[in-house]
Amino acid sequence: MPTSLYLHIPFCRHRCAYCDFNTYAGLDELKPAYVRALIREIRGVGRSAQTAGVPRSVHTVFFGGGTPSLLSQKELTGILSQVRESFELTVDAEITLEANPGTVDLPRLAAMREQGVNRLSLGMQSSDADELRMLERQHGMEQVQRAVSWAGQAGFDNLNLDLIYGLPGQDLSRWEASLETALALEPEHLSLYALSMEFGTPMRKWVEGGRLPWPDPDLAADMYELADELLKRAGYLQYEISNWARPGLDGQPLACSHNLQIWRTGEYLGFGAGAHGCAEGWRMRVARSPRAYIERLAVPDWTEQYPFSPAMSSREYQEPEQVLEDMLILGLRLTREGVSEARYAARFGRSLEEDFGAVIDDLLSVGLLEKPGWGIRLTSRGRLLGNQVFERFVGQLPRGRSAKTPNSTVRI
Ligand code: SF4
Any ligand 1 atom below 6 A from CB of 64: no
How confident is the model at residue 388, as a pLDDT? 92
Any ligand 1 atom below 6 A from CB of 31: no
* Gap from CA of 15 to ligand 1 centroid (Å): 6
d(CA 351, CA 332): 16
Q: Ligand 1 pocket test: which of 8, 13, 21, 143 has the largest number of ligand atoms within 8 Å of its C-beta?
A: 21
Q: Using CB atoms within 10 Å of the CB of residue 29, give its burial: 0 to 12 exposed, 13 to 18 middle, 19+ buried.
A: exposed
The string of pLDDT tens digits covering residues 269-294 is 999 999 999 999 999 999 999 999 99
Q: Using CB atoms within 10 Å of the CB of residue 324, give its burial: 0 to 12 exposed, 13 to 18 middle, 19+ buried.
A: buried
Cβ(58)–Cβ(5) below 8 Å: yes
Helix (H, G, I), strand (E, B) or coil at 125: strand
Q: What letters, b where the CB count within 10 A reaches 16 and e where it falls short, cover 109-140? A: bbebbebebbbbbbbbbbbbeebbebbebbbe
Task: Tell me which residue has its CA closest to atom 2 in ligand 1.
Answer: 66
Between 396 and 164, the more confident residue is 164
How confident is the model at residue 404, as a pLDDT? 38
* Beta bridge partners of residue 11, listed in sequence order: 24
Which atom from ligand 1 is nearest to the alpha carbon of 137? 6
Q: What's the distance, CA 388 to chain centroid?
A: 21
Average pLDDT value for residue range 72-98? 98
The string of pLDDT tens digits covering residues 171-188 is 999 999 999 999 999 999
* Gap from CA of 66 to ligand 1 centroid (Å): 6
* Gap from CA of 184 to ligand 1 centroid (Å): 24
Which stretches does DSSP call E strand in 332-397?
339-340, 369-370, 375-378
Confidence at 407, pLDDT banded by 50, 70, 90: very low
**Could you tell me the pTM of the whole model?**
0.95
The string of pLDDT tens digits covering residues 1-26 is 899 999 999 999 999 999 999 999 99
d(CA 50, CA 259): 25
How distant, in Å, are the alpha carbons of 90, 109, 129, 167, 181 from that of 142? 36, 17, 10, 21, 11
Cβ(354)–Cβ(360) below 8 Å: no
Any ligand 1 atom below 6 A from CB of 67: yes
Cβ(398)–Cβ(321) below 8 Å: yes
The string of pLDDT tens digits covering residues 307-328 is 999 999 999 999 888 888 999 9
Which one, of 91, 90, 84, 153, lies nearest residue 120 by Cα? 153
d(CA 204, CA 37): 34
Which atom from ligand 1 is nearest to the alpha carbon of 98? 2
* Beta bridge partners of residue 98, listed in sequence order: 121
Is the pLDDT score of 73 beyond 90? yes
Task: Tell me which residue has its CA closest to atom 3 in ligand 1.
Answer: 66
Any ligand 1 atom below 6 A from CB of 100: yes
**Overall size of the chain counted in residues:** 412
Any ligand 1 atom below 6 A from CB of 21: yes
d(CA 11, CA 8): 9
Cβ(257)–Cβ(94) below 8 Å: yes
Q: How many CB atoms lie within 10 A of CB 171?
A: 12
Any ligand 1 atom below 6 A from CB of 82: no
Longest CA–CA separation in the chain, Å: 59
